[in-house]
Amino acid sequence: MRRLRHFVAALSAAFFAACAAPLQLPEGFVELEDAGYGYRAVTSDDARLWLRELRDPTEGEIEFWAEALQRDLVEERGYELVASGDLQDASGAGGRWLEATSNVRGQRIDYLVALWCRKRSWWLGGGEDLLVAEFAAGAEVYARRLAQVKAALSTVRW
């Protein structure tokens, strides 16, 4: 009986942990219904925030992934890099961020992506788990929301 109670408690904790927002939403954002592909939030002026856990069979350090992503965005997709740097999530884990300007169907879209990674256990198949947080909006909206989004990224839990 006692074992069952513990099991139910652990299950509940896991459920609530799964349901909890992975970051403190910045002011003006509302969470979208979970469609099964990450945590999404928007503002009334169409700024978008998307957090996803992605996987890759390759094992690499955060520097490697950040560089691979930056190369692809700049050299293959024509993004203009504005700035990049380090950041920490709520647990103190180090990650990387970069900001760029992009051209999406002729319209300027400003883009921020933050990245954290951690190795997967061998019994889960190895490789890398990556948490990708993306924020994008038209230039004016982006400039207005950026500071709050950056602050919110330091509250990320995963």
User: Interface with another protein by CB under 8 A: which residues?
Assistant: 40, 42, 48, 50, 52, 54-56, 58, 65, 68-69, 72-73, 76-80, 82-83, 99-111, 113, 130, 132, 134, 136, 139-140, 142-144, 146-147
Q: List the structure tokens of 71.
A: 């190369």
Nearer to another protein by Cβ, of 25 and 134: the residue is 134
Torsion angle defined by CA atoms of residues 122, 124, 129 and 131, in that order, rounded to the nearest 10 degrees: -150
Q: Which is nearer to another protein, 36 or 106 (CB)?
A: 106
Run of H or E including 1: none
Closest CA to 49 of 148, 138, 144, 134: 134
C-beta closer to another protein: residue 90 or 146:
146
User: Closest distance between another protein and the C-beta of residue 15, in Å?
Assistant: 26
Toward another protein, which CB reaches closer, 16 or 44? 44
CB of 55 to another protein, least distance (A): 7
| CA–CA separation, 102 and 46 (whole Å) | 16
Amino acid at 111: Y
Closest distance of CB 90 from another protein, Å: 22
Query: And the tokens for 98?
Result: 């970069």
